[in-house]
Amino acid sequence: MDYNYDVRHRPAQPPTPAADAFTIHRAEVATDLSLAFVREGVGGTPLVLLHGYPETKRIWWRNIGPLAAAGFEVIVPDLRGAGDSDLPADDRHDIVTYARDIHTLVHDRLGHDTCMLAAGDVGGAVAIDLVNRFPGFVEKLCFFNSVPPMAVDYAAAGIASDILDDANDPTGDYRVLQGARPDELAAMLATPEARRLWVAGMYSSRLWASRGGFTPQDIDFMTEPFADEARLRAGWAPYQLAHGRPFEEIPFMDAVEVPTLLLYGPEDEVVEKQFVARCEVAFPNRIGPLLVPGAGHFLQWERADIFNALIPAVFL
């Protein structure tokens, strides 16, 4: 997208805390399954930060401290199978299951009747289901670089789908391999180093992130949890839902009525080009969409300076 912004002019971002900067807590959310999470600023306004793929809670490392200092109780879980959370023995991964896990953690285990929520990528789909499945639980939402609610009549608003089929999408080979041919892909990625390189491409050369948004050290930090084959496969599971992976419940993908801050990292070549137009229909009670310059798919990291200022300004 040409919007006359050279990412080389992007201001220096907040420093990244050390890998062990935050205490990792655990809570059981299902039988024999615990989620790992960071919880900082206890007593503040509850704010849940949801990651997607190829991410873990580490994608929020630059946001946790500043948002806790701003007055939030920042709750940052790893989805089941990701990061430090347990792998489900039954290999159950789907949007509704993720949403129920998060509701159990925040509502039942941490005792919050309501919360604020920020999410992108797969986390964005989980957020939509949470909002619609548990009315009143999410008071305000920040949504970015994800899939807008699918159960909305976009055609009535004159918005046609521009999602390319897998054969004609120049960035879509990862979707085919992860979604339809995971065993073949896993065989190609036979070592921890190969698995990390697969994920590293999404932070560097695969058109997800803005140029220079992640240093080699940053990429090492983000890819380390994916060295394990089972955890990498868990990250592929949402892609497989479109290729026959079973799920017991269809997620609620209706329009979102709660107040929503919509952000868009335009350096992202993975999100459909109609993302902004669709969001303007699907989120009627919104601020934005606001373009975040110099950011791609991982805008909370790439422009943490903007994200960390916007969330308190809108949510508090």
**Does the pLDDT of residue 301 top 80, yes or no?**
yes
93-97, 111-115, 251-255, 267-271: which range is least confident on average? 267-271
Provide the pLDDT for residue 8.
85
Provide the pLDDT for residue 248.
85
Share of the chain above pLDDT 70, in %: 96
Provide the pLDDT for residue 219.
98
Token reading at 18? 């050390």
Token reading at 95? 């949007």
Mean pLDDT computed over 44-71: 98
The answer to whether 286 touches 261, Cβ cutoff 8 Å, is yes
Provide the pLDDT for residue 161.
67
Nearest CA among 49, 237, 40 for reference residue 127? 49
- Look up the pTM and report it: 0.96
**Does the pLDDT of residue 245 top 80, yes or no?**
yes
Round to whole Å and give the CA distance between 20 and 22: 6
Neighbouring residues of 159: CB distance < 8 A, sequence distance ≥ 6: 274, 277, 278, 281
Round to whole Å and give the CA distance between 82 and 60: 14
Mean pLDDT computed over 90-95: 96
Which CATH code fits 7-163+250-315?
3.40.50.1820
Q: Where are the domains of the chain?
A: 7-163+250-315
- Structure-model confidence comparison of residues 169 and 178, the more confident one: 178
